[in-house]
Amino acid sequence: MKARILIADDEKNILDTLSDFMEGIGYHADVAESVDSALALMQANEYDILLTDKNMPDTGGNKEGGMRLLKHAKEHIPLTEVIMITGYATVESAVEAMKLGAFDYVMKPIPLNELKGKIDRVLEYKRFLNSENTLQMYKALHNQLLDLLINRDDIPENKLQGILRTLGTKIDHLFGMQKGYEGIIETQSEALEKIEGYADHLKAAIPGESPYYVLIERILEESKRRI
């Protein structure tokens, strides 16, 4: 099933570029040119990801309508993860979005391959066995690392930009072992389901008085317990 993404931005050329790009890499994309239209779409549909411009004005005069969309998503559709588009590449703007629950952020001008990597990362974390807790752990760690970078005047601007752009990838390595363990668990679960299926067929074929009948029942019981 295609991942579903809502793109909210008040610049039509950005909407067109991002929409075409999403469709080109296999995702379904809806677009909203205003905060109100984005809210309407969020109320009517389910989205895996909201990609929203932070500095998108709303009808109430708020210049950071993207933050309003982020708050709405976290309060009403917590399964939708948010990637914030920031016009200014500062630690402060990234921290502000992450504190409100964004999964990640991308800086203008938007590097499409980098954006794809961030979207793929969201979807990968959603596939973890205990995805809700894993996503929260990822965001908490991301927050902590960003906090350490605030007011670091000793870090040159170009190096700081590089750190901000690659922070998510660095965090991924910490969850790599967990994903490996989960892969083993999933493989074992699939094997046990096959064993259960074979045992069901044998149980149906073997007479109840057979000495093997009890053994097969034990195999079934154990496989169900471990699955």
Look at the chain and report how many structural domains it folds into. Answer: 2
Residue indicated by tokens 């079934």: 220
> What percent of the chain clears pLDDT 90, i.e. is strictly above it?
33
Q: Which of 71, 12, 63 lies closest to 42, judged by CA?
A: 71
- State whether 139 and 30 are in the same domain: yes
Range from 43-52, 100-109, 169-178, 184-193 that averages highest in pLDDT:
43-52
Reported confidence tier of residue 70, pLDDT bands at 50, 70, 90 = very high
Given 99, 133, 151, the domain boundary residue is 151
Bigger pLDDT: 108 vs 50: 50
Q: Is residue 173 part of a domain?
A: no
- State whether 147 and 188 are in the same domain: no
Residue 39 is part of which domain span?
Answer: 4-151
Residue indicated by tokens 């961030």: 118
Residue 28 sits in a domain whose CATH number is 3.40.50.2300
- State whether 41 and 112 are in the same domain: yes
Range from 38-47, 62-71, 94-103, 156-165 that averages highest in pLDDT:
38-47
**Single pTM value for the model:** 0.73
